Amino acid sequence: MVEFMDLSPVIECLRSARRVLFITGAGLSADSGLPTYRGVGGLYDRGPTDEGVPIEVMLGGRMMREDPAACWKYIGQIEEACRGAQPNAGHHAIARLEALLDEVWVLTQNVDGFHTRAGSSRVIEIHGDLHRLHCTACTWKNEVQDYAELTLPPSCPDCGALVRPAVVLFGEMLPVAAVGMLQRELARGFDLVVSVGTTSAFPYIADPVIRARHHRVPTVEINPGESEVSHLVDHRIQAGAAEMLSALLSGLESD
- The residues of the shown chain that bind Zn ion, judged by CB under 5 A, are 135, 137-138, 140, 156, 158-159, 161
| β-bridge pairing 163-167 and 128-135 | antiparallel
**Separation in Å, CA 216 to CA 18, 105, 185, 198, 206:** 15, 19, 17, 22, 16
If one counts every other C-beta atom within 10 angstroms of the C-beta of residue 229, the result is: 25
CB of 68 to Zn ion, least distance (A): 14
HEC string of 145-184 equals CCCCCCCCCCECCCCCCEEEEEECCECCCCCHHHHHHHHH
Beta bridge partners of 106: 22, 123
CB of 164 to Zn ion, least distance (A): 11
Closer residue to Zn ion (CB): 10 or 135: 135
- C-alpha angle 122-223-106 in degrees, rounded to nearest 5: 5
Closer residue to Zn ion (CB): 140 or 202: 140
Residue 56 host element (H or E) = helix 55-58
Sign of the CA dihedral 105, 134, 82, 227? negative
CA proximity to 152, closest of 75, 214, 206: 75
Closer residue to Zn ion (CB): 59 or 156: 156
Closer residue to Zn ion (CB): 14 or 162: 162
CB of 80 to Zn ion, least distance (A): 25
Catalytic-role residue among 92, 127, 134, 231: 127
CB of 43 to Zn ion, least distance (A): 26
**Separation in Å, CA 31 to CA 25, 61, 76, 98, 241:** 11, 29, 21, 21, 7
> Could you give the CA distance from residue 171 to residue 191 in angstroms, rounded to a whole number?
33
Closer residue to Zn ion (CB): 135 or 193: 135
Please say if 215 is a catalytic residue: no
CB of 138 to Zn ion, least distance (A): 3
Closer residue to Zn ion (CB): 163 or 192: 163
> Could you give the CA distance from residue 124 to residue 106 in angstroms, rounded to a whole number?
6
If one counts every other C-beta atom within 10 angstroms of the C-beta of residue 180, the result is: 11
CB of 72 to Zn ion, least distance (A): 16
State the catalytic residues.
127
